A and B are shown apart, each in its own frame.
Chain A
């Protein structure tokens, strides 16, 4: 069979860069294959994908060497428009990709550009909307849709074109765990129904493997470092070397001292043959101890019977009560629209509660203005670009103090201290534009820390970050928490983050607080997971399959073992 995509000794270098991003790529992908492409940020995996749809070099100029054929044509010659008939690309930013004013128009977008007549356009849109199960929503505007629905529409938008290849650029990045699971299933179904070749670029390996793929390609530093079956990859050391996270259940099995064998189907916990590992795991479980929990005593923030609604008949938050103690690191979780953002807006005073009370350091904060609350409760937004007002790092960090009229000398002292804590001191006179995303994130955190808040609220601190950047950001936050005793609340739907870095999770669903417990308990509770659009951790299934009854305590032990191990590695 002829490959549908074939790279031969292919190199690519962006005009704006001094080094080639892709080196000596040799790769064949055959029709109807399902291929997963993984690799850390900056490895070149997106560059590779954008060579296939011709965004490189047509939109971002660069030099190529060697040959690339996609369905018999050279993308660089066919151009983006030419390739759009062969390759359908679904981008990770579902809002950016949703261009139409309604679902129907967005699906029809490519047809409109092709000047297809209205009648046949309507017919095609109807067909496709059925395939992506969005028929009842044709007239809806994007603001009325969830992230998962928007992604379906994005798929519809490329499927109207009868493409031969579907290319997904980090499809899981903006979805909550259970929606992500559905997205992966849908991708598989559509691939089968339409007989298309599917390429998925993703760094969340475990989630992407929720359905079978034929092949995994690992890209590292511009080269293909692995091309083979998922099972063999998972039993090798390549993932570790490349900084890609392996599935948690495999980490657990390795902790138990076992060597995983490809014949046991390690690519899926559901299918995996666990009999060779069961005893070792149980043994490990019985001999591992949980690190005693830190006990927190002093109240920092307490919320009691908090209610909020725009219209009395549609409550957004219903009787929310909880207390946060000094030095805690906790997560606030729930699907989009569950009320997480509303809750933080109430705490910060952007909106006023309908009833209920919020206390900071045991004092009612109703009389405090937004600015006064902001001095004690720091808010860090998801994207640092949404916070940065000044082009120079030092000015940016100093801004919050300047507007408060604090004397220059004191500002300098505090800014210096914070820049050092955040590891930004060597860059103090750099423009923000020269920083990486992770460094920018630190700048935005530093610009809040300089106000010396009691508590820090971070909105999705790791969204869209790969494992290396995720670890970098989270370890930094952990350090702040441990060395400064800073209380940290993270609004998130990242389950790893919940499990690995927080000792407590508050779960909201439809405006109600449905759980307030250790993340290990929450992620092993089917009912709560379902209501909050979370996904049970694969460790749960692992422990059940191994006959360990207290799944939550298994998870808890796993996590404390991990944390201890990481400490070892750090020292």
Chain B
């Protein structure tokens, strides 16, 4: 099965979403009340960069909806959908990142971060506020301020944690060339 969404992708989506849901409760406080960085976003970005945009988008969509539902008993669709967009956009160039080949380096790190910047901007500065206004008729100022916070938070956590994880994984998973044992001293 060499289609775009083969067995590996099905499983990566399924288990990736499970990981996303489990990490829902792991939040890094940043000193502003009720505002946290969400490591689960970095995990989604990681899997999207390895397995591609469809995997990323579904992890964002299902993971966010399911996480909301079982931990908070409600689903905020206006924030679920943008999450899928972030996963989708990060994964578009997944073949270029070459994470598993051990070559996630300088230029690729930049492409990854540009993509996540665009993804987060579209999702949180544009889409989430617009949906909030359309669905809940919430005040413009409020939703855009919220959107900008979400943008910053997710941009930081994916940019820092996501990048760290990808670099580390690329080093561990990639075949290492030209290693030789070093003798004492």
Direct contact of A and B (CB under 8 A): yes
Query: Of B102, B169, B174, B179, which contacts A430 at CB under 8 A?
Result: B179
- Segment among A117-125, A134-142, A161-169, A431-439 that sits at the interface with chain B: A431-439
Does B141 touch A at the CB level, under 8 Å? no
Does A392 touch B at the CB level, under 8 Å? yes
Please state if A433 and B171 are interface contacts (CB–CB under 8 Å): yes
Does B160 touch A at the CB level, under 8 Å? no
Within the assembled complex, what's the spacing in Å between the Cα atoms of A392 and B168?
Answer: 9
**Complex interface: chain B residues within 8 A of A432 (CB):** 172
Helix, strand, loop or mixed for chain B's interface?
Answer: loop
Query: Of B172, B179, B181, which contacts A391 at CB under 8 A?
Result: B172
- Residues of B39-58 whose CB lies within 8 A of A: none
Please state if B182 and A433 are interface contacts (CB–CB under 8 Å): no
**Complex interface: chain B residues within 8 A of A426 (CB):** 181-183
**Complex interface: chain A residues within 8 A of B69 (CB):** none
Closest CB in chain A relative to B145 CB, distance in Å? 36
Closest CB in chain B relative to A555 CB, distance in Å? 41
Does A429 touch B at the CB level, under 8 Å? yes
Closest CB in chain B relative to A393 CB, distance in Å? 11
Query: Of B172, B181, B182, which contacts A431 at CB under 8 A?
Result: B172
Within the assembled complex, what's the spacing in Å between the Cα atoms of A430 and B179?
Answer: 7
Please state if B181 and A427 are interface contacts (CB–CB under 8 Å): yes
Closest CB in chain B relative to A208 CB, distance in Å? 30
For the A-B complex, the count of residue pairs with Cβ-Cβ distances under 8 Å equals: 33
Does A390 touch B at the CB level, under 8 Å? yes
Does A282 touch B at the CB level, under 8 Å? no
Within the assembled complex, what's the spacing in Å between the Cα atoms of A54 and B183?
Answer: 43
Query: Of B169, B176, B184, which contacts A425 at CB under 8 A?
Result: B184
Does B114 touch A at the CB level, under 8 Å? no
The size class of the interface chain A forms with chain B is 10 to 19
Provided the pairs A430-B176, A431-B176, A433-B176 are in contact, do residues A392 and B171 lie with their beta carbons within 8 angstroms?
yes
Within the assembled complex, what's the spacing in Å between the Cα atoms of A429 and B179?
Answer: 9
Please state if A434 and B176 are interface contacts (CB–CB under 8 Å): yes
Within the assembled complex, what's the spacing in Å between the Cα atoms of A425 and B167?
Answer: 24
1/0 per residue A374-397: CB within 8 Å of B?
000000000000001011100000
Within the assembled complex, what's the spacing in Å between the Cα atoms of A390 and B184?
Answer: 23
Closest CB in chain A relative to B40 CB, distance in Å? 18
Within the assembled complex, what's the spacing in Å between the Cα atoms of A391 and B102?
Answer: 12
Does A428 touch B at the CB level, under 8 Å? yes
Query: Of B102, B169, B175, B182, which contacts A428 at CB under 8 A?
Result: B182
Please state if A390 and B168 are interface contacts (CB–CB under 8 Å): yes
Q: Which of B172, B175, B176, B182 has the most CB of A within 10 A?
A: B172
Query: Of A16, A391, A425, A434, which contacts B168 at CB under 8 A?
Result: A391
List 8 A-B pairs, Cβ < 8 Å.
A390-B168, A425-B184, A426-B181, A428-B182, A430-B179, A433-B102, A433-B174, A433-B175
Which residues of B does A touch, CB under 8 Å? 102, 167-169, 171-176, 179, 181-184
